[in-house]
Structure 1
Amino acid sequence: MTVCKRVDVHVEGVVQGVGFRPFVYSLANRLGLAGRVRNDVDGVFIEVEGALAGVEEFLTALERDAPALSEIESVTVVSGEPAGHSGFTITAGDPAGPRRTLVSADTATCDDCLRELADPAGRRHRYPFIACANCGPRFTIVRGVPYDRLLTTMAGFAMCAACATEYHDPADRRFRAEPICCPACGPDLRLLDARGADLCGDPIAGCATLLRAGRVVAVKGLGGFHLAVAAAHAEAAAALRARKHRAEKPFAVMVAGLDQARRLCAVDEQAAALLTGRARPIVLLPRLPDAPVAAAVAPGRRDLGLMLPYTPLHHLLLGELAEPMVLTGGNVGDEPIAHEDADAVTRLGGIADAFLVHDRAVHVRTDDSVLRPWSGGHTVLRRARGHAPEPLTLRRPAPRPVLACGAELSGTFCLVRGRRAFLSQHIGDLDDHDTLRSFVEGIDHFCGLFDIRPEVVAHDLDPAYLSTRHALELTGVELVGVQHHHAHIASCLADNGETGPVIGVALDAPGRGLDGTLWGGEFLRADLTSCHRLGHLALVPMPGGAAATRQPWRMAAAYLRDEHPGLDVVRRNAAHWPDALALARAGVDAPMTSSAGPLFDAVSALLGIRDTITYEGQAAAELEQRADPYETGSYAATITEGDLLVVHAADLVRAAAADVAAGTGTGTIAGRFHNGVADAVVRCCVMLRDDTGLNTTALSGGVFQNALLLERTVERLRAAGFRVLTHTRVPPGDGGVSLGQAAVAAARDRPS
């Protein structure tokens, strides 16, 4: 006799708009089970009954074989008596109650859709907007929830009869796929000239012809416009850089596939997995010496940012072009990327020679995500398309809804409800008015999308930050100030699902400390509620204040003073060096800092790599690029004990200066410097372990975007017996600060 069983299953997570109900429907029918499945405000609810073995296999396969786009947070199973269901059905969801469902990130075109794209016999052959329940636009087209076509930017495109049949067929992979369309009923592609007038002919072929001829084309993607040129075309790359007012910051390069990627960069298994993942991020990889890429694409860099196509349009364009292309943000300077057609023609008209546009609106502008592999995993440098707005899960729930406003540079915000932390996409530096407006609009959109009304608002302690000002202007909320570097360590804890306490090592740019100085080279005893300063890099003046961040030679002057007057760095800046020293000695316009960022800047200037910068972190990044990764020598820094450990980083600069004077090679000096910083970190952590009993370290702050430093530090800490936490899902830089602020505010809000 067959034993029957019934279970009610509640699945929470990213399980709507990702083909989850059709998956459940097919699974139940394959196993001969009866019941029903529907969406609800929390996720997906399933009633299933039948033979005991079939039900048990159903529960196993439910998580094991879930759709690629789904992210299951929890599965709750309750047994009951069979209800006598006849067959298995998909029923309408209940829209009542608060909105707690999640929105999927935009996802690269799946293999099934790519096969259709290439099939001459199919009705979607070479159609640039092909998508299904397993791929395509999500977050960037969603205006509201529940996730339904009428609440997306596809609302204006009425489905044809063929698409409607697929849309309503539970056995079809396009069942309830809201972006569904075809040439008969979907968006159209157009190629425009610089004035916005239509150009004749096939838009994709015409665009490829322009790119081969050295023209700059603005291409509308998932989250806004990119500016494209042929990557090997030297004049085009130089023209793009000049018109965009982007003096030296590297451009990303899109390649058709891994074979093309391997002709430009060293691509190992780890890199290949990152490149081909469903998020299709930009991945920073070692550049091959003979890579056919124009010098203007990534000046001063030994790596390239590569990405694979993630929309049908990209696949078609690269197939027509038959060579890699630069694809960089469609903006001027640090403005937000353009995402509306008319605005793009206006704002980018002085840059682009043509525009490849379509009539599917982008509701939320979103940049490309950027990842960097290292020997221990990978670091997220920018979290955006392909990742946002999917939440991170906090170890403990927040008692009340939280908004965290983040930092000034690499701005993000974070909203928390319960255990879910919704970290926004990268928005940009908030010192730009349009970026600030995008920041505020983004908060409003997330609040509506996830039905969150913040009662607690976290912010940085620096009142000059525009993100802090926004927080302070809000009414009817409880404000929580979080020290910048505590937020960095808290972000690392949240990234790893931990609560602490840990020895937190925050190596970062200058940020407001608790003692009136600018912190940024900190050793902290930290958990999610508090942090205590245990040590820091020795204070050094920043001659000229903000000018010292733009002119690294000033920091070389501050560290060396007049001890090495014969060095090249002195000769290059001989007219200004005494002025910088005078500011440092007088303490006028020379704030004191313990930050690690200026330390790297000083050595970069000392080695003649970078006296002035054109983008944040440039001097330190180029110093890392020049370092010999095989160098085993190390400079030593004195560490003094007292109420706080103090690392005398000037010792590292003096040692580097001595090697410069001795004619030692730049790569050797840069390598010894990186090893010296790693050694100093480890020595401090060992001393602090003896005092605190803590054996776990958390590494955070923008300086740990440096893969060489991160590798050296992690391997030495582990060799010393430490358990080491690093960032894997959110940036170690300021793009992750809002998550840390949110985690701290939520923890402090809990009863003790």
Structure 2
Amino acid sequence: MAREARLVRVNGLVQGVGFRPTVWRIAAALGLAGEVFNDPEGVGIFLEGDPRALDAFPDELRRGKPPLARIDSIDVKPAPVRGVDQFVITPSRAEGAVTTMITPDAATCPECLADIFAPRNRRYRYAFTNCTHCGPRFTITRKLPYDRPQTSMSVFPMCPKCLAEYENPGDRRFHAQPNACPVCGPQLELIRADGTPVSGDPVRETARVIREGGIAAVKGIGGFHLVCDASNAEAVRRLRDRKGRNEKPLAVMCAGVASAKRIAEVNAAEETLLTGTAHPIVLLRKKRAFFDTSAFPGIADELSEIGMMLPYTPLHALLFHALLGEPEGTAWMEEPQDLYLVMTSANPGGEPLVIGNEEAKKRLASIADVILLHNREILIRCDDSVVRSSESGPVWVRRARGVTPEAIRIPEVKGAPDVAATGSYLKNTAAMTRGRELFLTQHIGDLDRVSNCLTLEAALEHIRSLLDVEPGAFASDLHPDFFSGELARKLSDRCQKPLIRIQHHAAHVGAAMAEAGRNERTLGAALDGVGLGSDGNVWGGELLLVGPDGFERFGSLRTLALPGGDRAAREPWRMGAAILAELGLEDARFELLHARRGHLPAIPEMMLREIPKLIHSPRTARTSALGRWFDGAAAILGLVFTMRDEATAAMRLESLAEPHIEEASPLEGGFSIEKGVLSFLPLMRRIVEARLADPSKETAAKLAALFEATLAEGIARWIIEGRERSGIDGPVMLTGGCMLNRVLSSRIPKALRAAGIEPRIPHIVPPGDGGLALGQAHLARLALARGMSSYPFIRDHAGV
């Protein structure tokens, strides 16, 4: 049969993942000649040979792709026969527009772990072992194409043995850009807090400090961790005191899944998340029998879940190895170990994550007893990702290391320019579109300090530079005072490009729409804690019809007074007082909100006496936010009066309810719906009366379960009723930070399915503010494609 030739173009996550050697092996198996190369567009392949083998190649490539690769498209075109007789891998080509992307950082693979813990292997106990299936990618890369000279490994020339691996297409380390060994690669150094070096093996000495109750700062892939023994209550207390982290739970790392199962419930989906290439922090239900013994005090007190992850770098694994007596091989990682380490981000006081050695010496010296450094530069901050498994799939709390900057496929919008979106104020991420792809930056955090604002600006510019995209428009939140909005305005003015401001909750629904592939009018419930509404009020419990030409409101939660404005979001007792005022039970504030039992900080009696003036003042703002109902209920149940983290009240209420939630039924008559306005005042009256009659913790737990069950039932009926009034068919988007709640994310979809409605919860981006930039970009593109200069609020049907 006559020879033919094809030119194949492969797009997706195809660089730095062992893709070219895979192509080389498949071509050899099919008897094909030609070449494969990287360029800014992805991977190019020229193939020549038997037409039957050429036809078989695309399917063989899809079946045999490397573990870290993602193929978005394979384009095949006829090509002239060149008469070549072998298949070769040719150097990368730098010319052309960038249409590929770097893969996220990947956890150490089993083969590399086997190398690290084999005493006769040349990489035995080497902390920078990697291959094309694992290791750092995003955090060490300056620009594309992804080749060693473009990374922070460029300063480490490979020794002859590493170079031979790197140049051998049959080797696992062929073109592994961070490839290194103890002879030629990065090295560790341990110093004390005062900067003086510690003699001896850095890993063993760090393990000794941890074993003796000390705190170590350890440099990882995307930044430093603060590390201590999770079972040492005094070490945990000192870490919290020094870092200034009073309320938020601490993440824990263990040797393997068997170790996680000793202390937490781990189902099949959670095990998949724990062991996947991202190795995120997974929120797992605590085993009550274990934690009822007061195990791990100070880690995740008053919560029913614990955040756990497995070692995702060689250095993490080496710390466990040293603390466990340096066993040979890797079997110890599969066995249950009674060793758990706190691994919390090294970002004192909510500042950006520490990544540089000199930065660590300055900012971590007051926290850590020792600092474990290395001389491979981290170019991009990238915190640990956090995820919770749900019945319908993973729900991301924080999307960062191991996931960023993987592209999110979004619907095509013809005529729309590429958009840069600057995200929210809390839990910020930014986004950049490139055709049908959207790239979300790593988690930035709250924009309440200059350092985080600068980090946002740098992260957005880095993504823009990597993608080689000049945005044709910008998108931001509606709020006039957010730094993210000011940044979008500044960039819009500088580039002379349009700026589209998107209302916060419309953007939440827009994010879910983009993930679901929808451009048409779609109904969505946006349930969160705060967001500026189009009418100037504080929204947060909205049923919105979102479409290409703007959005309408078909439902809202009954508003509550927001006494003290923004302070009410940090002081749940204020929302408790607001609910009592709505019920006409203001006198109960002294009984319910004045801490006489000593387990809560006392609210001064003078403030409790003055609070009615604020509540009834016409100048006091009101809010429809579901998050504030959670806060008020948590205060009335005696769980929390003040908090530093805005999610603390909701998390504690959910945890208190957890033992009783299975048998909890909604309170009959516990809510009302009138003209699209949903009120839970009947439920709160029942809770107040029961709390006054019996202030015990057991009763509070049952009331917390009653609260969550009734919320889920009421919201589901509210959505069904609003959908009927809107006349819109199709799926309903469920989004906003409150959809991280296990009860709401389980019971609401179940009730909607029973009514014949398809629910959609985001599973690629967080449903909370961490996914907001996706919705901003998507709705801005829809508006721009229609020649609109804004994304308008069309009509309010709620209460009409």
Does the CA-based 8 Å contact 1:225-1:337 persist in structure 2? yes
C-alpha change, 1:529 and 1:122, in structure 2 (3 Å) is farther
Find the partner of 2:607 among 551, 557, 576: 576
1:98 paired with 2:97, answer yes
Separation in structure 2 between the aligned mates of residue 258 and residue 38 of structure 1, nearest angstrom: 39
Counterparts of 1:243-254 in structure 2 under 5 Å? 243-254=242-253
1:358 paired with 2:380, answer no
How big is the shift at 1:444? 1.5
Structure 2 residue aligned with 1:401: 418
Structure 1 residue aligned with 2:793: none
Does the CA-based 8 Å contact 2:673-2:718 persist in structure 1? no
Counterparts of 1:574-723 in structure 2 under 5 Å? 574-588=605-619, 590-627=620-657, 628-635=660-667, 636-642=669-675, 645-663=676-694, 665-691=699-725, 692-723=727-758
How big is the shift at 1:293? 4.4
How big is the shift at 1:640? 4.1
Separation in structure 2 between the aligned mates of residue 641 and residue 300 of structure 1, nearest angstrom: 37
Aligned length: 748
Q: 1:582 is aligned with what amino acid?
A: K
Does the CA-based 8 Å contact 1:602-1:653 persist in structure 2? no
Of residues 607-616 and 576-585 in structure 1, the stretch that sits farther from structure 2 once superposed is 576-585
Separation in structure 2 between the aligned mates of residue 312 and residue 605 of structure 1, nearest angstrom: 45
Of residues 215-224 and 47-56 in structure 1, the stretch that sits farther from structure 2 once superposed is 47-56
Q: 2:375 is aligned with what amino acid?
A: D
What secondary structure sits across from 1:503 in the alignment? Answer: strand
1:217 paired with 2:216, answer yes
C-alpha change, 1:731 and 1:528, in structure 2 (3 Å) is farther
Q: 1:569 is aligned with what amino acid?
A: L
Counterparts of 1:410-425 in structure 2 under 5 Å? 410-425=427-442
Does the CA-based 8 Å contact 1:631-1:668 persist in structure 2? no
What secondary structure sits across from 1:510 in the alignment? Answer: coil
- Superposed CA deviations along residues 368-421 of structure 1, whole A, max 9, x for unmatched, are 000011222221000000011111011114732211010111111001121111
How big is the shift at 1:85? 2.5
Unaligned runs of 5+ in 2: 325-338, 596-602, 788-800
Structure 2 residue aligned with 1:144: 143
Structure 2 residue aligned with 1:311: 313
Of residues 441-450 and 360-369 in structure 1, the stretch that sits farther from structure 2 once superposed is 441-450
Does the CA-based 8 Å contact 1:233-1:293 persist in structure 2? no
How big is the shift at 1:714? 1.2
Structure 1 residue aligned with 2:153: 154
- Superposed CA deviations along residues 584-642 of structure 1, whole A, max 9, x for unmatched, are 10133x21111111010000011001111121211011101111221332134544444
How big is the shift at 1:171? 1.8
Structure 2 residue aligned with 1:340: 356
Structure 2 residue aligned with 1:50: 49
Separation in structure 1 between the aligned mates of residue 520 and residue 472 of structure 2, nearest angstrom: 25
Separation in structure 1 between the aligned mates of residue 468 and residue 733 of structure 2, nearest angstrom: 33
- Superposed CA deviations along residues 217-260 of structure 1, whole A, max 9, x for unmatched, are 00000011100001111110011011111112100001110111
Counterparts of 1:116-515 in structure 2 under 5 Å? 116-289=115-288, 290-291=290-291, 293-322=295-324, 323-397=339-413, 399-474=416-491, 475=493, 476-515=496-535
Separation in structure 1 between the aligned mates of residue 413 and residue 384 of structure 2, nearest angstrom: 30
Does the CA-based 8 Å contact 1:631-1:672 persist in structure 2? no
What secondary structure sits across from 2:83 in the alignment? Answer: coil
TM superposition score normalised by structure 1: 0.97
Does the CA-based 8 Å contact 2:193-2:365 persist in structure 1? yes
Does the CA-based 8 Å contact 1:38-1:45 persist in structure 2? yes
Separation in structure 2 between the aligned mates of residue 247 and residue 141 of structure 1, nearest angstrom: 32
Unaligned runs of 5+ in 1: none
- Superposed CA deviations along residues 691-724 of structure 1, whole A, max 9, x for unmatched, are 2132411011111111222111111111111101
Does the CA-based 8 Å contact 1:490-1:528 persist in structure 2? no
- Superposed CA deviations along residues 471-529 of structure 1, whole A, max 9, x for unmatched, are 12222121101000000011111222233422210001121101121110000111355
Does the CA-based 8 Å contact 2:112-2:131 persist in structure 1? yes
Does the CA-based 8 Å contact 1:394-1:419 persist in structure 2? yes
What secondary structure sits across from 2:153 in the alignment? Answer: coil
Q: 1:445 is aligned with what amino acid?
A: H
1:565 paired with 2:591, answer no
C-alpha change, 1:563 and 1:210, in structure 2 (3 Å) is same
How big is the shift at 1:287? 1.0
Q: 2:610 is aligned with what amino acid?
A: D
What secondary structure sits across from 1:457 in the alignment? Answer: strand
TM superposition score normalised by structure 2: 0.91
Separation in structure 2 between the aligned mates of residue 204 and residue 33 of structure 1, nearest angstrom: 48
What secondary structure sits across from 2:239 in the alignment? Answer: helix
C-alpha change, 1:400 and 1:693, in structure 2 (3 Å) is closer
Of residues 126-135 and 680-689 in structure 1, the stretch that sits farther from structure 2 once superposed is 680-689
Separation in structure 1 between the aligned mates of residue 161 and residue 516 of structure 2, nearest angstrom: 46
1:544 paired with 2:554, answer no
How big is the shift at 1:3? 6.8
Does the CA-based 8 Å contact 2:10-2:74 persist in structure 1? yes
Structure 1 residue aligned with 2:333: none
C-alpha change, 1:529 and 1:127, in structure 2 (3 Å) is farther
What secondary structure sits across from 2:435 in the alignment? Answer: strand
Does the CA-based 8 Å contact 2:572-2:641 persist in structure 1? yes
Q: Which runs of 4+ in 1 moved over 6 A?
A: none
Does the CA-based 8 Å contact 1:529-1:744 persist in structure 2? no
C-alpha change, 1:297 and 1:340, in structure 2 (3 Å) is same
- Superposed CA deviations along residues 45-92 of structure 1, whole A, max 9, x for unmatched, are 112233344333322121122111111111112245644321111123
